[in-house]
Structure 1
Amino acid sequence: MGITFRKETFRDDFTFKNSPEHIRRFPFPFHEDAYMYAVNIEPHVVGPRGSVLENLIDVDEHYVAEMQDRALVLAEDPLRCQSLPHMTLAGWDLLELLMEQQALGYPEHFTLTRDGDRWRWINRPLGIDDTFTFGDTSTLPYGPMEYITRQSQGDFCILDQRDGNLWMDAGMVTTQADWSLDFDIGMNFFEWHAPVPLAHEKGIFVRALKFLTNIQQGKPARRLNWTMTINPRLDTSPENYHKWGPDRATVTPENVGDKVHLRV
């Protein structure tokens, strides 16, 4: 049975809402009542049926609305998606990964057919039916990374590995929690994490980088990251702080349960 996609907004009138089924599958990030920064990384393997880990790439009831919101953000600020010239091949890798996994996990919504380098991609929820030549950017309306991440939930950063470090050299970032891809593009792992408090002193980023640079092909890993957001707003970027920053002053003891949202 296919997913029932919700018609909702993440701005202006904020009609976003979770169904009871979606609440039951929510990946709650805390294993105890206290929290501190940690390298909470684990193997990214398929989990229980009906959970957010049932497929390696998750698609949920908010998919269509989130993609519509992403299109609005990009129309206002195209620099939310950037790829340095040497990252185009990595963009094709990402396109292949996401198309394969979406078609595998949700065949009623996505279909990928291949005849050599001639590919056909059908995305039924978004009304897309495109045929293109894999590896030939001129056959797509956007670069490969932008094309597929306009159709994939969540933000994406593609990292280049060189000089014993990781470098943020490409990304589609429209739902970030107060950080800027346009500012961080081209930075290394320690530079873009510089504003994070406490974690540097505890050596967390040194350990995280060592782990990430030693991940083996075919053995992906995952971690749960989270933030608190006032109102169900996806775009809490520094570029748009003037739109969402004042929301923080509207929280009261009476409305805190309605206004404060946990995003994972």
Structure 2
Amino acid sequence: ECDTCYRHGGRKTGWNGDMTWDAHSSNQEHVYHNGCNSPGTLTPARWSQITIGEPTAFEHSFTNYIKANPDSVLRRAGVAAQFTGALPAYPRVHDHYRAQRFLAVGVAIPEADALNARLSVVNAELGSPRQVNLTVIVTNVGDQMYLEALTEHWLGGKKNDLVVVIGAPEFPTIAWAGVMSWTRVEEVKLGIRDRIMGLGTFDGGKVLDIIASEVSDKFVRRPMADFEYLKATIEPPEWAQWTLFALGLLIAAVLQAYFWRNDPFETSARYGYRRW
């Protein structure tokens, strides 16, 4: 929609018909805004690129209790360090409402952009009814511990994430596959893994069909309330503990020097002498 807003600037400005461009998703999420602009402003180029029916990605905030004490839940410490440089950053929304959900890490996949676009459509179709966020990673790492490292690196992902990881050191041959998700329904993880392994060689279209089928039939999001008990186990990180320790020593030293020089309680006077 393109709305008109009014900024009455008085006789000197004469502004009374400023332009604002807004776009909302079918879920009523505000995904684009440009305004208010003065009358006669040309239509923004990015506005012209918006297509009705285009999939959108939108980030929602929530209380992540896992961050309170991730080691107690993940029980994976130090694995990520073994794959430094091979672990992608968690996908974030960019360009207002787009996200790169199909990631090729160390593997050249010519149709990667097309697969990402198709995966966005699958997310749009399943995201609301199944409350799921799908991501696919294809890596050239042959070690299956890569999945454990990614889990540590991403802290297990968000509460509605289902991340499919495919190892293909000799692409397109599939060496291993695995799924990262907080869902309690192990059947959906095993179904995706086994069916992808059954392909033998990577076929992006078939991989997405498998994921869509399994998730549509079996996925159930695990509520973050299941991890609320972690609030009682919150511990500061090691660097914070050392900082507090050093700060405590510094404060103790300063106080000791102060009392030695000033003797605010005049204890020495009661014993017949005073320091000068």
TM-score, normalised relative to structure 1: 0.30
TM-score, normalised relative to structure 2: 0.29
